[in-house]
Chains A and B, each alone.
Chain A
Amino acid sequence: MSKNIKSISNPKLKLEVLTTEEVKKIHEATLWIIENVGVRFPSKRALEIWEANGAMVDRDKKIVRVKGDLIEEALKKCPPAYSLAARDPQQDLSLDGNHVYLGTDGCGVEVIDIHTGQKRTSCLSDVQDIARVADATEEVAFHWVAVSAQDAPVEARGLHEIKAVWENSTKHVQTESIYNIHEAKAALEMAAWIVGGKDKLRERPVLSLMQCTAPPLGHDGGSLDAALIAAEHGIPTGFMTMASCLTTGPVTMAGNLAVGNAEVIAATALLQLAYPGAPVFYAAAQTASDLRLGSYTGGGPEDYLFGAATNVLADFYNIPLSMGSFATGAKEPNWQAGIDGSLSTFMASIVMSDMLLGCGFLHGSRIWSYAEMMMDCEIFSIIHKMMQGIVVDEETLALEAIASVGPGGHYLAQKHTRKHMRDLFLPQFMDRRPYSEWETKKDDARDWATAKARKILSEHCPEALDPKISAEMKKIIQSVEK
Chain B
Amino acid sequence: MSEELYKEMAQSIIDGEKEIAIELAEKSIELQMHPLDTITKGFVVGVNYIGDQFGKGEAFLPELVMAGEAMKAAVATLEPELLKLGEAREVMGRVVLATVEGDIHEIGKTLVGTMLSASGFEVYDIGVDAPAEKIIGKALEVDAQLIGMSALLTTTMVRQREVIEELDKEGLRPRIQVMVGGAPITQDWAAKIKADGTSEDAVGAVKLAKQLLGKE
* Residues of A in contact with B (beta carbons under 8 Å apart): 42, 107, 109-110, 120-121, 148, 150, 154, 157-158, 177, 179, 214, 218, 220-221, 244, 246-248, 251, 289, 291-296, 364, 366
Contact = CB atoms under 8 A, between A and B. Distances in A.
Closest 9 CB pairs of A and B: A148-B154, A293-B201, A291-B60, A109-B184, A295-B201, A294-B111, A154-B155, A294-B61, A247-B107
Given A150-B154, A366-B183, 16 more contacts: A109-B154, A110-B186, A121-B188, A148-B154, A154-B158, A157-B154, A246-B61, A247-B107, A248-B107, A291-B60, A292-B60, A293-B61, A294-B108, A295-B200, A296-B183, A364-B183
Nearest to B158: A154
B62 interface: yes
A179 B188 CA distance: 25
Contacts of A179: 153
A366 B104 contact: no
A293 B202 contact: yes
Contacts of B124: none
B189 interface: yes
Interface string B87-110: 000000000000000001101100
A120 B192 CA distance: 13
A107 B111 contact: no
7 contacts: A109-B186, A110-B186, A148-B184, A177-B154, A251-B62, A295-B200, A295-B201
A110 B183 CA distance: 12
B57 interface: yes
Given A121-B186, A154-B155, A296-B183, A42 B60 contact: no
Nearest to B185: A109
Nearest to A155: B155
Nearest to A363: B200
A128 B118 CA distance: 46
Contacts of B201: 293-295
Nearest to B153: A179
Nearest to B115: A294
Contact of A366 (B54, B155, B158, B184): B184
A247 B154 contact: no
Which of under 10, 10 to 19, 20 to 34, or 35 or more describes the interface residues of B? 20 to 34
A396 to B, nearest CB: 48
A148 B153 CA distance: 10
Interface of B: 54, 57, 60-62, 104-105, 107-108, 111, 153-155, 158, 183-184, 186, 188-189, 200-203
A109 B153 CA distance: 10
A248 B61 CA distance: 13
A291 B183 contact: no
B189 A121 contact: yes
Contacts of A177: 154-155
A292 B202 CA distance: 10
Nearest to A295: B201
A169 to B, nearest CB: 22
B132 to A, nearest CB: 15
Contacts of A121: 186, 188-189
Contacts of A109: 154, 184, 186, 189
A59 B10 CA distance: 43
Contacts of A289: 61
A214 B62 CA distance: 21
Given A107-B154, A121-B189, A248-B107, A291 B184 contact: no
A251 B183 CA distance: 21
Contacts of A248: 107
A373 to B, nearest CB: 20
Nearest to B63: A291
A259 to B, nearest CB: 13
Nearest to B200: A295
A291 B61 contact: yes
A214 B183 contact: no
Contacts of B105: 214
